[in-house]
Amino acid sequence: MSEKNETLVTPQEEVKDSRLGFLKKISSGVFASLLLPAVLKTKQIQAAEQDGVEISLPEQKDDEDVILRMMREIQRALAKPVEERHWAMVIDLRKCVGCRACTVSCIAENKLPPGVVYRPVMEEEIGTYPNVTRTYLPRPCLHCSKPPCTPVCPVRATYKRKDGIVVIDYEKCIGCRYCVTACPYGARSFDFGEFYTNNTPQIESYEMQADFEYGREWKRDGKKSPVNNARKCHFCLHRIEKGLLPQCVVTCIGRATYFGDVNDKESIISELIGRPNVMRLKEELGTEPNCYYLV
């Protein structure tokens, strides 16, 4: 913008300007998270197991987008040893509009086949017309502190990591589906090896693309894992370890999903968990979920 314009800012233009600034901020955050996987893929080969890859974020500002703040917090957490991190998620149900961008982006990120869904959004209508509201409840894996799904596994293929994430070792899983049954939140799915383009002239190539869960390449090939395995949300562990937010957090259009390290008392997630309107699902089961809801 020229100097002349700057001196002649009308109120309307100011609004426009701040809007533009807002969009810029968002786009920088979204862009960073969208472009980085491509950049990192080449890096991944060199430093496959290296945690906390430095991602250059724009200079910190007081009114910056919450996505950027959370990315800074992830970087801070990654600087610590893994056992000192404690990942958790907060979903603000008042902000959720039920767009399912999280559901879809998760399917895209993890190349989920039919019948496998990590983050469905439940819908409930309350009241009768004209006094009626509709609520939406996204449900990722809640990564319980006392998960009922891990002890039942006969082969120790699913377990809780030191940073709180409940993972499945696809190579060990025998596909008995006991964990699927044992989850009180229905957060586990079974991969039957289906394709969306089944019964069409050909299985489209985009369905055959490998996914990169747990930081390694899983090709969709016949009955090989993860086909015939239990599958679940892993907070996009492969992204977190590269300093990125889970895909559902990035794509949430209402910024309703927050993610971070609970052990970091400065983090936004710690702030939100201390709110009076926080709740967790099925507390009576004693599972102590690490996914909180603001109602």
Partner 1 sequence: MKKLFWSALIVLSSIGVIAIIWRLSVGMKITALSSTVSWGMWVAFYIYFIGLSAGSFLFSTLIYVFGIHKLEKAGKMALISALFALLGGMLFVWMDLGHPWRFWRILTNWNYRSVLAWETLFYVFYITVVGLEIYHLMKFDFYNLAQKCSGWKKSIYNFLTLGFRVPDDPQQLEAMQHKTMKTVKLLGIIGIPIAIGVHGGTGALFAVVAAKPYWFGPIFPIIFIVSALVSGAALSTFLYAFFGEKDDKDYLDIVKALANYLVLFIGIDVLLMFSEFSVNLYAGLPDHSRVLHQILFGSYSYIFWVGQLFLGIILPIILIALKKNDPKWLGAAGLSAVIGIIAVRLNLVIPAYILPALKGLDKAYQDPRWSYFYFPSIGEWITTVGAIAIIITGFAVAWRFLPIFDHSNVTGLVGAGSTGGVEHGKR
| Residues found near partner 1 in the complex (CB under 8 A) | 103, 114-117, 120-124, 137, 139, 148, 151-157, 172-178, 180-186, 188-190, 192-194, 222-223, 225, 227-230, 281, 285
Rounded to a whole number of angstroms, the minimum distance from the CB of residue 69 to partner 1 is 30
With CA atoms as reference, report the closest residue to 185 among 122, 240, 229. Answer: 122
Strand partners, 218: 211
State the Cα–Cα distance between residues 269 and 258, nearest whole angstrom.
Answer: 7
**Rounded to the nearest whole angstrom, what is the least distance from the CB of residue 87 to partner 1 in the complex?**
22
CA atoms within a 13 Å half-sphere pointing along the CA-CB vector of 247: 25
Query: Three-state DSSP class for 189?
Result: strand
As a whole number of Å, the end-to-end CA separation of the chain is 43
Q: At its nearest, how many Å lie between partner 1 and the CB of residue 224?
A: 9
Looking at the Cβ atoms of 82 and 285, the one nearer to partner 1 is 285
Question: 65 or 170, CB closer to partner 1?
Answer: 170
Residue 171 is encoded by which pair of tokens?
């190579």
Q: Which is nearer to partner 1, 55 or 183 (CB)?
A: 183
- Taking CA atoms, 77 is separated from 32, 64, 84, 242, in Å, by 19, 19, 8, 12
Q: Which is nearer to partner 1, 77 or 218 (CB)?
A: 218
Residue 287 Cβ vs partner 1, minimum distance, rounded to whole Å: 9
The pair of three-digit structure tokens given for residue 110, joined into one six-digit string: 């993890």
Return the structure tokens found at 96: 């959720």
What the block records as the tokens of 71 is 């990315």
Q: Give the nearer residue to partner 1 in terms of CB position, either 58 or 186.
A: 186
Closest approach of partner 1 to the CB of residue 6, in Å:
50
Structure tokens at 86: 């404690």
CB of 167 to partner 1, least distance (A): 15
Q: Enter the tokens of residue 112.
A: 């989920």
Residue among 22 and 192 whose Cβ is closer to partner 1: 192
Residue whose CB is less far from partner 1, 189 or 267: 189
Whole-angstrom distance, CA of residue 55 vs CA of residue 154: 40
Q: For tokens 């991602």, what's the residue?
A: 55
Contact 134, 122 (CB under 8 A): no
- Where do we find the tokens 């559901």? 103
Closest distance to partner 1 from the beta carbon of 5 (Å): 49
